[in-house]
Structure 1
Amino acid sequence: MIRKILQKLPTPFGRQTRQRTTPQVIAASQHNLHPRRISRHAVSVVEQLQRAGYEAYLVGGCVRDLLLDIVPKDFDVATSATPEEVRATFRNARLIGRRFKLAHVRFGREIIEVATFRASHDSDSDSENLDDSELSRQSESGRLLRDNVYGNFEEDAQRRDFTINALYYNPTDGHIHDFANGIHDVRNRQVRLIGDPVRRYQEDPVRMLRAVRFAAKLDFDIEPHSAEPIFELSELLHDIPPARLFDEVLKLLMSGQGELTFELLREHDLFSPLFPDTEEAIEANPDYSLALIRQALRNTDLRIREDRPVTPAFLFAALLWPALPERVKALEDKGIPTIPAQQQAAQELLAEQCRHTAIPKRFTIPLREIWDMQPRLERRSGRRADQLLEHPRFRAAYDFLLLRETTGEQTQGLGDWWTRYQDANEDQRRQMIRELGSEGAGKRSRGRRKRKPRAPRTGD
């Protein structure tokens, strides 16, 4: 499938980004990056590497965000020092990664990530310090499996994904080094790939997701030549390990711009490879499915903006819920009772989903409990309501019930009943339970058919 997709595409696809062999150097007086907003530990790492004789710069998202007057979440450093040389320079450093080996320098709870200058995978740059198993490798679709070919400053800039992430800041003199016109794209609010888009997406299909994430996060547009091949190449995401896609989904949908990100994913046909069953449910029942997912993402975005806790379990429960009812109904039609049918359908749906986006058990377990409690919330007679109220997952299940009702699902006032029940005292709760019993009895009496009187028996 992937090979057929690639054969259909012309190469190169559209215009390539012009790359400089020498950087444009923007002096401190020509940009608005404020040094006081930079982590002192990040500055310390850069200065210590420079004193040791290596080139070193702050790079990537932290530089981009500072130019946009956004407080960076973390700070990355690019250097000519190899990971082993970084570890020898800092006692508080440790090496991580195999696909992309780098160093973490820890200062208490803050980690400064230090990466060695890389070259493109087909570069002739010196890599004598690595054995063949550690050098760059590619899959048949063009995806880079490892990327440990070390290069120089210029090569490192040219192999980065987007122009806005190829900006290098030297805190020593305040200069920004720009090899790919990244400053221009920051000012024009554009996400643009460096190099031929098709080749860059082949090397790492996750770049398509990153383009969408940056566009949503920064309120940028994806530059047309970078956006054009995404629709045709979206199925390359099937070649990405599901565990990695889970991490990317968290970044996409739990960074405060989830609703906008969702719309962009669907616009570029990137949602279907991540959630194929949900996409089918959206096509079958778009009004309900889209309303529920959008409302869940809207609620998540609001909680993040208010610095309130969010859990992936609840969000994934909402993302996958539209695909569940038809599966449950199919099992009920076979004679399986509702609750066992829902449990079996949930297990099958999650097993299929994890082949695309591998949701860890620490999230699938509470997710299933939220789902399992939905039909149980309808069963409130006797002591059941109190037992459900004491369940550790009750609040999440109750919130999920309200989400379903908000998006038009009919539950005969179940959400309002549980809202009142939580606020009621003991006597009021018992009365609410008795009223449920009388309502049920009334319904049964109204629905009961009168028997015809028996004819009197006559003797033989």
Structure 2
Amino acid sequence: MAENSYATGIKSMWSLFKKKYPVIVPAKNHKMSRGRVEPEVLAILDRLRRNGYKAYLVGGCIRDILLDKKAKDFDIVSDARPNQIKRLFKRCFLIGRRFRLAHVYVSHDRFVEVATFRALVDPEEVQGPRYAANNVFGTIEEDVLRRDFTVNALYFDSGDSSLVDYTGGLADLSKKALRCIGNPAERFAEDPVRIIRAGRFCAQLGFSLPRRELKAVNDCAHLIKEANANRLLEEVYKILRSGASARTFTNLNDWGLLKHWIPELTDTRHQSSLRTRLDAVDRRRARGEDISTSVLLTALLWDFIIEAVGEEAEKTNYQDVFISLQEKMQDMVQRLRLPRKEWDRICNTAARQWTFSRVNAGRRARRSEGNFIRSPYFADALLFFEILSGLPGGNAGSLKYWKDRAREPRDSAGSSDAALSPDAPAAHGGTQETESRETTGAPRRKRRRRRRPPRKIHQDPAPGPS
């Protein structure tokens, strides 16, 4: 029987890498060392080795350290099976269906991800659930061939501090080339999300795609439509938090992928303003500033938000702008699979922008402003207004006014301006007072109940003498 293309591809990859690799680089010849790894991570590696298992650091942490960047996450790979890992660590939890992983907690809110070497198998030959082929365990030589890019396939052995390179990743690091492991057309076709990752890595690291990879990207870009929507949303979050979002979206647009993923971002009318806005966000992220997801997404979608509400936003209050956004942008929101709570926060952040530009005088206006400032959405809204104010044509004067107002002691006047409700009945009628209260979610003022006088007990008169 003739071998299928998948098996043929595996054999060709094996023959390619076995000729020259692995290359083992001793500790004295590279920058990676135990001293640049967090002690908690080293403790996990050491415990795995003491119990007879192989254990390596792998992936972006090694790449970043070799590029003199700060490593954000340390990932461990081992020949220990998930249940064996779980037995070794008291606070260990197994997660995932697509890839079965162990999360070993090193504090109450931080964990280190430990994965098992995975075999390179044909998914069609594996019986079982949808992701069964991802959880067939193998050797380190097979595991390396399942990774996406050569620069992400470097292994660090903490035992002797050596680096193990199976795919030429060290050479590609020096060339600043983002090269696929194996045939790039096949790798991008089997997982089109890798194209988005390539765009982000090139933007973050200043790398470029070799000619073969670039051709494969152009040929496979349309396959992004078939990717899982939740994975695509997670990639949006990663891009916006990367500190290189403007360059990433530019890469994806140049490669022809963006028109198949988020076609609105390819509109030439908005590309200049989008790039300027994302550049401002990236500068803040590069300084280590923490920016909420709702503010990041508002920065991405701002041009379409303005189009949706039109000139009415200048004349109406933010409650009405919120309702208008909820009605007019549903198609895009559903396509991006934005969670409802996240979309509500975006609408609340965006709807308040026009209020910042209107500064009113008088006691009643200041009381209304007090309620506005006490809103749980005020901080995000003010941060986004600050980002806009730093752009050409920004309103720096209003920004200073609202920052000063926010620093003032909070007075007790006025009710709290709480969360907007997407199902506010105010949109369907009612009095003006009820409309304002329902759309802002402000607590209903309790009516003072009037005490009723005690009920008189009527008794029959005592019978008199007859």
TM > 0.5 fold call: yes
Separation (CA, whole Å) in 1 of partners of 2:121 and 2:384: 47
Alignment deviations for residues 247-294 of structure 1 (CA, whole Å, 9 cap, x no partner): 211111212222222322222233334433343xx33x2xxx234322
Query: 1:263 aligned to 2:247?
Result: no
Equivalent-residue separation in structure 1 for 2:262 and 2:239 (angstroms): 13
Q: CA deviation at 1:211?
A: 0.8
Which residue, out of 146, 164, 169, partners 1:177? 164
Say if 1:257 and 1:386 are closer, same or farther in 2 by CA, change over 3 A.
farther
**Partners of 1:218 and 1:369 in 2: how far apart?**
34
Is 1:234 the counterpart of 2:243 in the alignment? no
Q: 1:16 to 1:340 in 2, by over 3 A?
A: farther
Mapping 1:16-415, distance limit 5 Å: 19-21=16-18, 22-108=21-107, 109-122=109-122, 132-133=128-129, 135-136=131-132, 147-279=134-266, 282-283=267-268, 285=269, 289-329=270-310, 342-343=321-322, 345-377=324-356, 381=360, 383-384=364-365, 386-388=367-369, 390-391=371-372, 392=375, 393-394=377-378, 396-398=380-382, 400-401=384-385
Q: What SS does the aligned partner of 1:147 have?
A: helix
- What's the secondary structure of 1:49's corresponding residue? helix
Task: Tell me if structure 2 keeps the 8 A contact 1:401–1:415.
Answer: no
> What is the distance in 2 between the residues matched to 1:244 and 1:345?
29
Greater relative CO (CA pairs within 8 A, separation 6+): 1
User: Aligned equivalents of 2:251 and 2:276: distance in 1?
Assistant: 16
**Structure 2 CA distance, aligned partners of 1:159 and 1:277?**
33
Partner of 2:5: none
Q: Which residue is 1:451 aligned to?
A: none
Residue 336 of structure 2 aligns to a residue in which SS? coil
- Looking at structure 2, the residues matched to 116 and 249 of structure 1 have their Cα atoms a distance apart, in angstroms, of 27
**For residue 112 of structure 1, what is the amino acid of its counterpart?**
V
Deviations 1:18-41 (A, max 9, x none): 841351111222222122111222
After TM superposition, give the deviation of residue 117 of structure 1 in Å. 0.6
CA distance in 2, matches of 1:321, 1:201: 31
Q: What is the total number of aligned residue pairs between the two structures? A: 387
Which residue of the partner structure matches residue 5 of structure 1?
A: none
Structure 1, unpaired ranges of 5+? 1-11, 137-145, 426-460
Which letter maps to 2:224?
L
Closer/same/farther in 2, CA of residues 349 and 36 from structure 1, 3 Å limit = farther
In 2, distance between residues paired with 1:244 and 1:349? 25
C-alpha change, 1:252 and 1:70, in structure 2 (3 Å) is same
Q: 1:16 to 1:389 in 2, by over 3 A?
A: farther
The CA deviation string for residues 192-234 of structure 1, in whole angstroms up to 9 with x for no partner, is 1111112211221111111111112222112221122223322
Quick one: distance in 2 between partners of 1:247 and 1:337?
A: 34
Name the CA shift for 1:417/1:53 in 2 (closer, same or farther; >3 Å): closer
Verify the 8 A CA contact 2:34 2:158 in the aligned structure 1: yes
Asked whether the 8 Å contact 1:18–1:195 carries over to 2, the reply is no
Amino acid at match of 1:29: K
Q: 1:320 to 1:223 in 2, by over 3 A?
A: same
Change (3 A) 1:63 1:380: closer
| Residue 154 (structure 1) shift | 0.6
State the one-letter code of the partner of 2:17.
Answer: R
What's the TM-score, normalizing by structure 1?
0.74
**1:20 alignment partner AA:** F
- CA pair 421-68 structure 1, distance change in 2 beyond 3 A: closer
Contact 1:190/1:223 (CA < 8 Å) preserved in 2? Answer: yes
Return the alpha-carbon distance in structure 2 between the equivalents of residues 401 and 134 of structure 1: 45
After superposing the two structures, state which structure 1 stretch, 174-183 or 359-368, moved more.
359-368
Letter in 2 for 1:309: D
Distance 2:204 2:33 in 1: 21
SS at match of 2:342: helix
Give the Cα–Cα distance (whole angstroms) in 2 for the partners of residues 408 and 73 of structure 1.
Answer: 33
Q: Which amino acid in 1 is paired with 2:92?
A: A
Shift of 1:43: 2.1
Q: Contact conserved, 1:374 with 1:397, CA < 8 A, in 2? A: yes
Whether the 8 Å CA contact 2:154–2:164 is kept in 1: the answer is: yes
Shift of 1:348: 4.2
Return the alpha-carbon distance in structure 2 between the equivalents of residues 340 and 51 of structure 1: 61
Question: How far apart in 2 are the matches of 1:167 and 1:219?
Answer: 19
Tell me which moved more, 84-93 or 179-188.
84-93
Kept after mapping to 1: 8 A contact 2:34/2:42: no
SS at match of 2:80: coil
Extract structure 1 runs of 4+ deviating beyond 6 A. 15-18, 336-341
Greater mean deviation of Cα atoms: 108-117 or 183-192: 108-117
| Shift in alpha-carbon separation, 1:63–1:402, aligned structure 2, 3 A | closer
TM-score, structure 2 length as denominator? 0.73
Matched with 2:434 is none
